[in-house]
Amino acid sequence: MILYFSGTGNSLAIARQLAEQLNERLTPLVDAAGVDMTNEKRIGLVFPTYDFNLPPALPEMVSRLIISPKSYVFTVVTCGSMAGNCIWEMRRILRKKGIELAYSHKVSVPDNSALAFGRNPNKQLKKFERVPARMEQIIRELQAESHTLHYSWFSLLSWLLGRPAIENGMIHCLGPKVNADKCTGCNTCVRVCPMNNISLSDEKAIIGDNCTVCLACVHACPQQTIRTNGQEARKERQYRHPDIKLKDLIKR
Ligand SMILES: Cc1cc2nc3c(=O)[nH]c(=O)nc-3n(C[C@H](O)[C@H](O)[C@H](O)COP(=O)(O)O)c2cc1C
């Protein structure tokens, strides 16, 4: 079973490839809470890095999974370049459930938060050139049921520093804000939000208190109505993994 969390499709594309090549089922992490997965021989968790760490909503989601210590549990983390503390944090959360993380690796892909800093994620597509070789390695090692946590010195340093204190600041600054004057109430953000955290009121999008800053709504809004970090989401900076369609992110 491959469980994924994804705002703009990078993690979904990797999870999908793993599911196909390992002949596993693919399920959104948000749908897996409370489902008995104790018979699964292999469980993969695929998710993005936020602020050198796990997406804020992930610890709670993972803590609600029903999995067996006998399963081979692995993670593949997507990131712009630095997955930081993700591996160690996931290992710690799983250990609290009596599960040992067997394998972990990262895949570098375009950084979907670049638009929050006035840069264009679509100018980072060259990063995809290195993905096939990394995926070939990951799949080979997973097929061999390798027990390896691939990490860099930077990820060890992040672990030593612990969860960055700026997390709340990240949510505060990068948290999406709707420009109600421009919002047409088209419902796209409501449907694409993996946290079910957006609703419509008087045909205007309202973002609730459960945002995990995946920026799915910012990138998907067809009117470029949702800002992050004070930056307008210009159309050319809106990003989605090239192999992932909007309906793939909505189909949950
Ligand atoms: C709020 C936020 C924070 C991020 N922080 C990092 C980071 O610390 N390091 C990094 O390499 N990439 C970072 N990224 C980039 C994402 O990890 C990367 O683009 C990921 O593949 C997005 O996955 P998705 O398309 O499945 O949502 C961040 C993205 C967001 C939205």
- Three-state SS string over 96-151 comes to HCCCCEEEEEEEECCCCCHHHHCCCHHHHHHHHHHHHHHHHHHHHHHHCCCCEECC
Q: Measured between alpha carbons, how far is 123 from 128 in angstroms, rounded to an integer?
A: 11
pLDDT at residue 165, as a whole number: 47
Q: Measured between alpha carbons, how far is 10 from 242 in angstroms, rounded to an integer?
A: 9
Q: What is the pTM of this model?
A: 0.96
Q: Measured between alpha carbons, how far is 170 from 79 in angstroms, rounded to an integer?
A: 16
CA-closest candidate to residue 190, choices 244, 124, 249:
249
CA of 72 to the centre of ligand 1 (A): 26
Closest residue by Cα to atom 16, ligand 1, is: 79
Distance from the Cα of residue 59 to its chain's centroid: 12
Residues of the chain whose pLDDT is less than 70? 158-169, 171, 251-252
pLDDT at residue 155, as a whole number: 72
Sorted by where each starts, the structural domains of the chain and their CATH numbers stand as: 2-161 (3.40.50.360), 167-247 (3.30.70.20)
Q: Which atom of ligand 1 is nearest to the CA of 8?
A: 25
N-term to C-term CA, the chain: 16
Q: Which residues contact ligand 1 via a Cβ below 6 A?
A: 6-12, 48-52, 78-82, 84, 109-113, 170, 174, 213-215
